[in-house]
Amino acid sequence: MAAAGVAGCGLSYAVVSIMGPQSSGKSTLLNQLFGTNFREMDAFKGRSQTTKGIWIARCVGVEPCTVVMDLEGTDGRERGEDDTAFEKQSALFALAISDIVLINMWCHDIGREQAANKPLLKTVFQVMMRLFSPRKTTLLFVIRDKTRTPLEHLEPVLREDIQKIWNSVAKPEAHKDTPISEFFNVEVTALPSFEEKEEQFREQVQQLRQRFSNSIAPGGLAGDRRGVVPASGFLFSSQQIWKVIRENKDLDLPAHKVMVATVRCDEIANDKFGCITSDTEWLDLESAIQSGPIPGFGKKLSNIVDVHLQEYDKEAVYFDEAVRKGKRQHLESRIMNLVQPAFQKMLTHLRMKALEKFKTGLNSSLDSGKGFAVSVRDNTECSLKEFEQGCADAVIKQANWDCSKILEKVRRDIEEHALSIRESKLSELTRHAKEKLRKALAEPVESLFDAADQTTWASIRNVYRRETESILPEFLKKLCGFEMEYAPAEEMVSKLRDYARSVVESKAKEEANKVLIHMKERFITVFSHDKDSIPRVWTGKEDVHAIAKDARSAALKLLSVMVGIRWDDEPDGIESILTSSLLGGSVVSKIASAASADPLASTTWEEIPPMQTMITPAQCKTLWKQFKSETEFTITQAVSTQQAHRRGNSKLPPPWAIVAIAILGFNEIMALLRNPIYLFLLFVGYLIFKALAVQLDVSREFQNGVVPGIISVSAKLLPTIQNLVNKVATEQQVQHQHPLAVEPPQPQMQPPPLLLSPRSPMSELRRLHMPSSPRKVPSSPSSSSSSAMSSPRHVAEDQKPRTVVAGHENESNSADSIV
């Protein structure tokens, strides 16, 4: 202690010791871990005892000051089987003075009593609690030559063994219920083989070395440091502890028989567990269960387990009974842990099968028309019964596993699926009922609004009542199959009734948005048709103002229907308010009443709640102004038509004009009567003027204005006269050459009269109007007069733009006859 400089460290020091089997690499580990120079075994000279007694050194390069003790290995052949007192004493000494105790052990010896030092630790715990004040020591188990088994699988085994040892130790009354954590911190680490994986071994040792830095700090690797003496008194304290340990004669190991039974039964159990893991029948069963349920699964698996347990009993029958039974129970527990995943997989298959059976059965029952609640109840009972039978067939007799939890899961799965189907069916039923209500209400309500009158809302209420009373009882009857409670069923019916109201209200609001169009249509219908729905002919005898007032009144009645939603039967005065405000009185009286009190200067109606108002009074006033401005033109057209009809029917001048003409033109009239030739010339001049007017289409020429019409007629006048004269001359010449040729009427088509143009050459006119055969000259004045009277219509038709094709012969001679 003096040479290493430990005495002056005060309380800043830690003591680390190592214990374990002989030749397990304890000295090598300490040298690699702490940089010490303990003697190591030479593997080339054979395996023998290297460390004798207890060697002590100071760690190099680790703070705080760390004292390392290398203990003699246990289970050495040099001391023999019976001389193990020093092993117990050194182990007890290490536990008494050390903060950290490293327990070196082989990986493949985990679970063995002697190799893991479990009997030794049990004895040490008992003696330590009897001799010393308890202090918290860290037990760091170092697993050497770690195999592929993960550390997380090895550590629980060690911790369980330590806890069992602690529970089995007879404790004083003061510490009877004290947990092991009050005395020890159990840590586990693993290192690879030093000989086979030296580099990896060194790397992990360096990582382990980091854990010893600041080991005495709070949360460090060392214990709680209770009862630690100063470094200056460490020597005396250690001597006294060693003296007490040397004088104790009660330290003893378990009997040899128990130790052998423990080791041998453990080996047999491990061997049988390995046999079942490689059993072909078990492997086939495990593989088959992955794809689906297996009939007789529990019986087959129970037989496999029975075979291997019986083999264990046969080989371990002569060992200690307590040890044998304990190891058998442990083996059985390991086997159950091995086969439990396959059992759970079997239950999963049964669970899915039961759910699928329920789904199929429920669909079939519903398709057959069976009630939903009855179908769910029957299929649930059938599916659960089948699942329970499957569970009974899958249970292993060696295990006491409870299937009630998985049964509850199956029941819950069925209930969830049934609930989802129920919600789906109810939603579908509700959606179907809503669709029927919409179809039953939308079109009738729309047609009622098209023919809106005072009974419109009464008719709408009747339609609503009739359709809901027809559809909702049918819906409620279908709900009986679900066995619903009264309150939820009534709530669904109430929602459907509200939906029907919303359909009516939405359609009413939609039509209210088009009220101006409906008003104009109503006005046109009443204004343009009589009581028998026959279109009016404005002959001048109709009272346009009265008819217009009636049409506006009808439009106003329609507006009064559209202003709000009326679900009650109480009458209101909205129509009279609108009539008095918008239709009655003169403009001056309306202005005066508006200045005093305008009933439409508001945003609400007294008779209609605001939520049911579709058109406010102010909006009615605005709509009426727009309506009047858009219908004024129709009234103006009717008045203009009447005036035009009156002018067209007045053929004779007024009587006063006739009297004035007779008085002022008496001399001219008498002159015409005395000389009939003047009258004849006047008649001929009228005919010629009429023919030219028709041929030139004077009315069409003057459509573009007076000046353009005069210019166009002047340009066409001379060519037209020349054309007529030439045609008449040609006809006369043909008649003189064939005076007696009388040609019967020909049915074929003849060229129509030429659409004359000032630029048409005379030769072209003569060629087109040249007759193909001699014609009969009209012989009587009556025929000439008839031809002359009919010529204006034919000439007017000939003036339309068209391609020059064959026409009738009588049309080609119209102008000639007039001339």
What secondary structure does DSSP assign to 775-814, as a single string? -PPP-SHHHHHHHHHHHHHHHHHHTS------B-HHHHTH
Q: Are 559 and 623 in contact (CB under 8 A)?
A: yes
- Identify the three-state secondary structure at position 91: helix
> b/e per residue, 347-363, with b = 16+ CB within 10 A?
bebbbebbbebbbebbe
> HSE of 649 in the Cβ direction (CA atoms, 13 Å)?
10
Among residues 107, 282, 114, the alpha carbon closest in space to that of 194 is found at 107
- Identify the three-state secondary structure at position 291: coil
Residues 31, 76: Cα–Cα separation, whole Å: 21
| CB neighbour list of residue 560: distance below 8 Å, 6 or more residues apart | 574, 575, 578
Other Cβ atoms closer than 10 A to 299: 13
Record the tokens describing residue 484, joined without a space. Answer: 């619903």
Q: Are 620 and 599 in contact (CB under 8 A)?
A: no
> b/e per residue, 196-225, with b = 16+ CB within 10 A?
eeeeebeebbeebbeebebbbeeebbbbee
Give, for 15, the enclosing helix (H) or strand (E). Answer: strand 13-19
Residues 674, 679: Cα–Cα separation, whole Å: 10
In this structure, the strands spanning 13-19 and 100-106 are: parallel
Q: Are 304 and 286 in contact (CB under 8 A)?
A: no
Q: Is 596 annotated as a binding residue?
A: no
Q: Are 440 and 465 in contact (CB under 8 A)?
A: no
> b/e per residue, 128-139, with b = 16+ CB within 10 A?
bbeebebbbbbb
Q: Is 46 annotated as a binding residue?
A: no
Q: Is 22 annotated as a binding residue?
A: yes
Q: Is 20 annotated as a binding residue?
A: yes
Q: Is 650 annotated as a binding residue?
A: no
Q: What is the chain's length?
A: 819
What secondary structure does DSSP assign to 23-76, as a single string? TSSHHHHHHHHH--------GGG-S-----SEEEEEPSS-SSEEEEEEEPPBS-
Other Cβ atoms closer than 10 A to 79: 18
Which phi and psi (to 5°) does residue 184 adopt? -135, 145
What secondary structure does DSSP assign to 602-629, as a single string? SSS-SSS-GGGBSS-HHHHHHHHHHHHH
Q: Is 21 annotated as a binding residue?
A: yes
Record the tokens describing residue 49, joined without a space. Answer: 């005892």
Residues paired with residue 71 on neighbouring β-strands, in sequence order: 54
Tell the residue number behind the tokens 């009897």, with chain if given: 130
Residues 91, 103: Cα–Cα separation, whole Å: 10
Tell me, rounded to whole angstroms, the distance of Cα 635 from its chain centroid.
58
Residues 162, 558: Cα–Cα separation, whole Å: 97
Q: Is 25 annotated as a binding residue?
A: yes
* DSSP annotation of 748: S
Residues 212, 36: Cα–Cα separation, whole Å: 15
* DSSP annotation of 564: B
Residues paired with residue 474 on neighbouring β-strands, in sequence order: none
Q: Is 760 annotated as a binding residue?
A: no
Q: Are 360 and 417 in contact (CB under 8 A)?
A: no
Q: Are 33 and 144 in contact (CB under 8 A)?
A: no
Record the tokens describing residue 503, joined without a space. Answer: 């359909």
Annotated binding site: 20-27
Annotated binding site for GTP: 20-27
